[in-house]
Amino acid sequence: MGKYIEMIRIRFLMMLAYRTNYYSGILIYSINIGAYYFLWSAIYGGKENIQGLSITQMTTYIAVAWMARAFYFNNIDREIAMEIKEGKVAVEMVRPYPYLNMKMMQGLGEGIFRLLFFSVPGMIIVALVFPIELSTNASTWLFFFLSITFSFIINTQINLLAGIATFFLFNNDGLIRAKRVVIDLFSGLILPLSFYPMWAQNVMSYLPFQGISYIPSMIFTEGFKGSQIYEALLNQAIWSLLLIIPVYGLWILAKRQLVVQGG
């Protein structure tokens, strides 16, 4: 356990060394949220609510979806791909730890850093500028934090899969980019899933992506109520467990045919 905490700490320190890179990030996210706010204001026109969400809930949804993204999003897919391509994975293999778990911890260190230095200040700025409603209900916050923890797990497992695919494809930049678009689109980051046509909602209910953004954002905006919350959390928990299977399966295959580049 000590080694995992230490790894999170180290990654946090590394991010801290480059923190100035993030100030511009907050600005970009805020502009993004602003643009969506104006877009949705126009769409709502005078309407009270669409698909059960009021305009304030919608704005809150967009804001929290982007700020949560800062937490669950990480680059470990690219990192794994790079470590494989440059042969650095050799060094990882002579360390007495499970490579994938350690990668996940690095992602967590990155996530915690961004949560504190990006999402929190970002959310404060956005809340000052736009009409956003933050729940005063403690249980909502509790469910939300539980939910974004699952978001992190699901998203990171998908990243691991994309990263490990490098062992087989060798150049999988395309795959990683496509994965990113799919996640932004199908996770409900850009548009709440309840706005998609029925057939698409059906398809997406069988995919893990809604657990990444739609579920925590709906919990935060209190768009989910009562048993809906528990069902949503259960869905996330199941996917978090289910994805372990392909990740480890692929990893075992990958190790068997691992080639290390360079001398």
Partner 1 sequence: MQNIIDVQGLKKEFKSFSSRSGLKGAFRDLFTRNYTIKTAVDDISFTIKKGEMVGYIGENGAGKSTSIKMLTGILTPTDGKIVVNGMNPHKEREKFVKTIGVVFGQRSQLWWDIAVQESFRLLKKIYNVPDQQYEEHMKDVIETLDIGPLLDKPVRKLSLGQRMRCELAAALIHNPPLLFLDEPTIGLDVLVKLKIREFLKRINEKYGTTILLTTHDLSDIEALCERVVMLDEGKIIYDGPLKELRENWAEGKQIQFQFSEEATLEELQHLTQEHLVVWEKGESDLVWVASVEAEETVISGVIGKVTAAKKIADLKILEISTEEIIRNIYVEGAVRHG
Ligand X SMILES: Nc1ncnc2c1ncn2[C@@H]1O[C@H](COP(=O)(O)OP(=O)(O)OP(=O)(O)O)[C@@H](O)[C@H]1O
Question: H/E element holding 8?
Answer: helix 2-17
> DSSP class of residue 211?
G
Q: Which positions ≥6 away from 222 have C-beta within 8 Å?
A: 57, 135, 137, 140
Q: In terms of CB distance, is 124 or 259 closer to partner 1?
A: 259
Q: Which does 85 bind (CB under 5 to 8 A by kind): partner 1, Mg ion, ligand X, none?
A: none
Please give the residues from 232 up to 261 whose contact with ligand X meets the rule CB under 6 A: 259, 261
With 0-12 CB in 10 A as exposed, 13-18 as middle and 19+ as buried, what is 246? middle
Please give the residues from 86 up to 115 whose contact with Mg ion meets the rule CB under 5 A: none
Q: Which positions ≥6 away from 91 have C-beta within 8 Å?
A: none
Q: In terms of CB distance, is 226 or 263 closer to Mg ion?
A: 263
SS3 49: strand
Q: How far is the CB of 76 from partner 1 (least distance, A)?
A: 15
169 lies in the binding site for partner 1 (CB under 8 A): no
Binding mask 75-114 for partner 1 (x = CB under 8 A): ------------xx-xx-xxxxxx----------------
Q: How far apart are CA 143 and CA 148, in angstroms?
A: 9
Please give the residues from 6 up to 65 whose contact with partner 1 meets the rule CB under 8 A: 6-7, 10, 13-14, 17-18
**Cβ–Cβ under 8 Å, residues 162 and 90:** no
263 lies in the binding site for ligand X (CB under 6 A): yes
Q: Which does 200 bind (CB under 5 to 8 A by kind): Mg ion, ligand X, partner 1, none?
A: none
With 0-12 CB in 10 A as exposed, 13-18 as middle and 19+ as buried, what is 19? exposed
Judged by CB under 8 A, how many residues of this single chain contact partner 1?
27
Q: How far is the CB of 94 from Mg ion (least distance, A)?
A: 15
Contact positions toward partner 1, by CB under 8 A? 2-3, 5-7, 10, 13-14, 17-18, 87-88, 90-91, 93-98, 255-256, 258-260, 262-263
